[in-house]
Amino acid sequence: MRAILIESEGAAPRLLEDAEESLLTGDIGLDVLVSGLNFKDGMALAGKGIARTHPLIPGIDLVGRVTDAAGSADERFSAGDLVVLNGDGIGESVHGGFATRARVRPDALVRLPATLSPDRAAAIGTAGFTAMLAVLALEDAGITPDAGDVLVTGASGGAGSIAVALLAGRGFRVLASTGRTEENGEYLRELGAAEVLDRRELSEQPGRPLQSQRFAAAIDGVGSTTLANVLAQTSWGGTVAAYGMAQGPDLPATVLPFILRGVTLAGINSVQCPLPLRERAWDALARELDPELLDGMTTAIGLSEVIDHAERILAGQVRGRTIVEVDR
């Protein structure tokens, strides 16, 4: 079994060509076909508080083929089934997807939609799954394209990129906020953004508690001052779906947007998402996400490249999605 292993807290991760499969626990055995590299994976590899147990195989995404379901009472799966798993503690508190083998619990395991290849499912990964959960939160709040502009912050990242594409595909007029407007502007317009905003408009300092109403809704992956300003600029009855904290976990805001404008702040948690919502999100992704757009935002690397590539994702140098072909 090839695997990246973080052996102890503070230890540098290593790629092992003959990792012990006895490390693995879980009722369902898998051959991992492909994984994905996320910002959270970069943090785990850099020792930034994501790994909650050691030793740990990181990787919060995997797409695999079932080899053994005999240990599970869940009859949904049998040998040969293609499955996808995001979150549910893998790569954080249990071994994850940066290996050629895995054993997982069935509770969050989803059968791979027939229209998705393993590579494309990995390209969607936690980032795309999270983006769709945010889009569904806006849908459930009654936000429709005729309500007005929808903002996506952190738009050039994996989740942000897919959120832009999904919203545009649903007919929304999308405003994409990024820190690299010249570098990523054309890329975001190709995904469907109507306008590209410099993130400094929202990130540099908290503005007034209530500001001019600009957005009918928003999807935010940044947090902190950015989220505070987004809330202050959201129109009456709008919804902001928040999934990340790239700028920080603080929120220097007041309750005024919530009380005086009826704004809703919807938190998005992809890790502990219940199975029915997981299946709903993956079904929607398989139907809605343009495969050509997905391919255009995807880069493939081998397992041997993950450790070096993780430094780039933490430095904000990675655009779109990165998949990990674990057999190379």
Residues 60, 174 share a domain? no
Q: Whole-angstrom Cα distance, residue 140 to residue 262?
A: 16
Establish if 119 belongs to a structural domain: no
Buried b / exposed e along 160-180 (16+ C-beta atoms within 10 A): bbbbbbbbbbbebbbbbbbbb
Edge-to-edge order in the sheet of strand 195-198:
195-198, 174-178, 150-152, 215-220, 234-242, 264-267
pLDDT digits (tens, 9 = 90+) for 123-160: 999 999 999 999 999 999 999 999 999 999 999 988 99
Residues 44, 75 share a domain? yes
- Structure-block tokens of residue 95: 């071994």
Q: How many separate domains does the chain show? A: 2
Whether the Cβ atoms of residue 323 and residue 123 lie closer than 8 Å to each other:
yes
Establish if 289 belongs to a structural domain: no
Is a pLDDT exceeding 80 seen at residue 71? no
The answer to whether the predicted template modeling score (pTM) of the entire model surpasses 0.85 is yes
Domain stops at, among 217, 249, 267? 267
Instruction: Check residue 57 and give its pLDDT.
Output: 98
pLDDT digits (tens, 9 = 90+) for 154-197: 999 889 999 999 999 999 999 999 998 999 999 999 999 999 99
Instruction: Check residue 49 and give its pLDDT.
Output: 85
pLDDT digits (tens, 9 = 90+) for 197-239: 999 999 988 899 999 999 999 999 999 999 999 999 999 999 9
Instruction: Check residue 46 and give its pLDDT.
Output: 93
The tally of CA atoms less than 13 A away on the side-chain side of residue 235 is 10
Residues 130, 108 share a domain? no
- The CATH number covering residue 227 comes to 3.40.50.720
- The CATH number covering residue 314 comes to 3.90.180.10
Q: Per-residue confidence at 117, pLDDT binned at 50, 70, 90?
A: very high
Instruction: Check residue 84 and give its pLDDT.
Output: 98
Is a pLDDT exceeding 80 seen at residue 244? yes
Q: Helix axis angle, 118-140 relative to 158-169, nearest 10°? A: 60
Q: Residue 62: which of 24, 101, 23 has the closest Cα?
A: 101
- Structure-block tokens of residue 2: 């090839």
Is a pLDDT exceeding 80 seen at residue 12? yes
State residue 63 phi and psi, 5-degree precision.
-125, 130
Is a pLDDT exceeding 90 seen at residue 103? yes
Percent of the chain with pLDDT over 70: 100
Establish if 254 belongs to a structural domain: yes
Establish if 217 belongs to a structural domain: yes
Domain range for 130: 126-267
Residues 82, 150 share a domain? no
Is a pLDDT exceeding 90 seen at residue 258? yes
Q: How confident is the model over 274-294, as a mean pLDDT? A: 96
Percent of the chain with pLDDT over 90: 88
Residues 242, 156 share a domain? yes
Q: Per-residue confidence at 73, pLDDT binned at 50, 70, 90?
A: confident
Instruction: Check residue 62 and give its pLDDT.
Output: 98
Residues 182, 100 share a domain? no
Indicate the average pLDDT of the chain. 95
Q: How confident is the model over 73-78, as a mean pLDDT? A: 87
Q: Per-residue confidence at 326, pLDDT binned at 50, 70, 90?
A: very high
Establish if 281 belongs to a structural domain: no
Residues 262, 200 share a domain? yes
Q: Are strands 174-178 and 101-104 parallel, antiparallel or unpaired?
A: unpaired
